[in-house]
Chain A
Amino acid sequence: MPVRWPAGEFWASPRSLDLLTGTPFNCLVLPWSAHNPEVQFTPLIEAGRSRGLQFACCLEPEAAHEKTLAAAKSASLEVIPLAERAKIPWQSPPPVIATSEAEWPAVRASSQPGAAAEAGPTGLPWIDSNGWFARLAATLAPRTTLWLAFQPPKDQVLRPNSYLLAVADSAVYGARWIASLDAKLADGLAAGNSQSLDAWRRIARAAAFFEKRREWREYRPPAILAVLSDFRGDNEFLAGEALNLLARRQLPCAILEKSKVALGTLSQFKAILSVDREPPETQLRAALLEFVRAGGLLLCQPSSGHLARGASPLESHPRFHLHKLGKGRIAIAREEMSDPYVLAADAHLLLSRRHDLYRTWNSIAVGTYYTVSAGNSKAVFHILNYAGWPAAFLAVRIHRPYRQARLWKLDSDEPAAVKMITDGNWTEFHLPAIFVYAALELET
């Protein structure tokens, strides 16, 4: 569990390690650079090792000076490769990789003076979240742990809840945030300020919450729609943003790396969104046609128009040529799909909301992530509030009958009861005000 260790006299001294007592943080990411003589950390590292702590630094491979690397290795620091998203070596990933290309999770503040938040095309506020990328990383490199190296925004006064959201937005999706403190909090901790200490304890408690529930990481999102791509090169942006914006529509989706798709592997889905500009090669084409003939909906780029050969035209759509093939449909984009917002909306509506696995109400700045256990008997419905103010009267309806629900919050060791309404095929939950994060733990 990484924490970015601040620079400064207090933080270089072994007494700063007392802050870690009782917290899950066990790996200190040091501010290591060629301009930062490593010797100042020697007492800290020695004292930390005696407490069982690990020490690491994150370095961009191409930017790392030989001298810096050598110094890190001589100090026995673990060197974690730090890369932009597009430069992560998915084919041969290291056990741990960090990316600097990550967002501080929040409702995005408006660039317009006087406006409270930036709106997306729906009028809903735009949310910055790393959830989609954490999920993508877990799919492309399932044995790699992703560290998200985003730092507190410099132009904002952060409240403790902002930090809790940063922890949750990473952990819910299986990644780890390199917990990073802003200068005010770091200085406050160094000075022993009680408010700062309280904030630090809350951050640690939030991190511990997810560490205690590691079994939730094994749960997988049930999805009826899959995004198919190689998620690389020219396809990376559209595929990634499609994941991001489908999540914003509360539409759970699976991530399909196209080299891994084979015949018979797609039957669990109702729709596949094929994002890539390149037409599918033989094996993938066969799998997609099999999927459509069995009743699925395939959305694809104009370059895949040949897939609709022999299919019957259906009703018109402003952005797609729709065809019927077997029991299913193929939607060939009239022009190259390039706007991820429109693409996510089109995919959702062509599939139809009648297939939605769940709905939420009064959730304007809320993100959700619904995952189920291997046997489908257990589930967790994660709720993240990005707003900075409480989400009140939030209601969730899951189209599955559940018998038992427990509501977990970051600030309580005991679960709370939650009001449930069942109606045969669905279960609705009326939640109390949620400030940052809550999880509904469900059993059928």
Chain B
Amino acid sequence: MHHANKQDNLTRRSFLGGLTAAALVPAARASTAPTAPVAIARCPSYGSELLPALARMFDQLGGLGRLVKGKTVAIKLNLTGGPDSRLGYTPHEDAHWTHHRVIAATLHLLSKAGARRIRLLESPWATTEPLEEFMYAAGWDPAAFTSAAAGVEFENTNYLGRGRKYSRLWVPGGGHMFKAFDLNHSYEDCDVFVSLAKLKEHATTGVTLAMKNLFGITPCTIYGTGAGVDEPSPAPVGGRQPLHDGLRQPSKSALPENNPGSSHDDKYRVPRIVADLVAARPVHLSIIDGINTMAGGEGPWIPRTRPLHAGLLLAGLDPVCTDAVATAVMGFDPMADRGTPPFERCDSTLRLAEEHGVGTRDLSRIEVLGVPIAEARFDIRKSGRTRTG
């Protein structure tokens, strides 16, 4: 399959600016939202079958070379929660974090495809400590990443980090909740942006996949509980509760919400903010680790969650399309909205991102490569094993 890459022949700034201009036109909405293929692979473990499975998926999507050759690639990982909190005895990577072997394999393939520089990004919980140190605390060895590819860098994006100033990324069309976000420089200083996510349910947004992973790109120095009032705080304190409940606005150095009087319901707010983020910071490649994961929620802090072996990987060139297919694979209807699983109590991030024109959630318009959805589908609500110990 050879689908035109949105970013071919564009610089990163013209690409972002072009998107902004395009979206000034009222959103074409669902029927005309772009589509892109999604690859599904069975992968029973993180062993020797992982690398060929990922390579095959990237080939099915048209190859990594034309996307990353000579480029700076930024990868947002999903390392949610603290490094010292496991789901029962299950290591982070086998439950709620992107597995380190998926990260290493992706790095290897990106490097092989000619990526010049690859930056691993995450906003660790309430700290300015280096991302590598956060990984050590979880029992990971970051050397696994630096040895998997040349030119691998790490940055903690929960604060200013190594940048001189925050980068303002605009939401095309003005956004559901925010017109723009002030982010760590890493989210602007890259040519290709990858969301390397985990296949999970989510207490607030129903599911968390490639798109919800971007909620963590917001620095808590500006958007967090302990954010500075006028200027960003030097260090993040606490989580992103203000984004959940809207009870305070971001630091005044950033743009406030479009309507600070809007709902305080996190299940209204968070899906919209995620859709805005995905529009502001386009995702060129979405990879979802569904080999070992968890059911019932996004992390061990959610009651009645449990480890789950699904043995699946997904990848796609559009995050809405990829998440729509992943949602279907989890046993849900991606066209569902508030009131219907998995969005019983929340709005659909898929619909809200689709309304931004990011991509379609309509499976009939999405080409699925590799394992068909019908064969990959499982009911995540009925899956997983009880924690014992």
Binding site for B on A (CB under 8 A): 122-123, 345, 349, 352-354, 356, 359-364, 392-393, 395, 397, 430, 432-433
Contacts and interface: CB of A to CB of B under 8 A. Distances in A.
A361 B85 CA distance: 6
A352 B135 CA distance: 11
Contacts of A356: 136
Nearest to B387: A393
B387 A349 contact: no
A372 to B, nearest CB: 21
B88 A349 contact: no
A417 to B, nearest CB: 14
B137 A353 contact: yes
Interface residues of B, number: 16
A363 B84 CA distance: 7
A362 B86 contact: yes
Contacts of B379: none
A359 B141 contact: no
Given A354-B141, A392-B389, 4 more contacts: A361-B84, A361-B139, A362-B86, A393-B387
B71 to A, nearest CB: 27
The B interface, classified by DSSP as helix, strand, loop or mixed, is loop
A393 B86 contact: yes
A397 B130 CA distance: 22
Contact of B389 (A345, A353, A360, A430): A430
Contacts of B129: 345, 349
B122 to A, nearest CB: 16
A219 to B, nearest CB: 25
A430 B88 CA distance: 9
Contacts of A430: 89, 389
10 contacts: A122-B126, A352-B136, A353-B136, A361-B84, A361-B86, A361-B139, A362-B84, A363-B84, A393-B387, A397-B139
B2 to A, nearest CB: 43
Contacts of A362: 84-86
B136 A393 contact: no
Contacts of B126: 122-123
Interface of B: 84-86, 88-89, 126, 129-130, 133, 136-137, 139, 141, 238, 387, 389
A91 B356 CA distance: 74
Contact of A395 (B89, B130, B136, B238): B89
Nearest to B125: A123
Contacts of B387: 393
Contacts of B139: 359, 361, 397
A393 B84 contact: no
Given A123-B126, A123-B238, A393 B137 contact: no
Given A123-B126, A432-B389, A393 B133 contact: no
Contacts of B141: 354
A364 B84 CA distance: 8
B34 to A, nearest CB: 41
A433 B126 CA distance: 28
A393 B238 contact: no
B158 to A, nearest CB: 14
Nearest to B239: A123
Contacts of B88: 393
Nearest to A360: B84
Nearest to B235: A318
A353 B133 contact: yes
A364 B82 CA distance: 11
Contacts of A397: 139
Nearest to B234: A318
Nearest to B129: A349
Contacts of B84: 359-364
Contacts of B133: 349, 352-353
Contacts of B238: 123
A209 B141 CA distance: 38
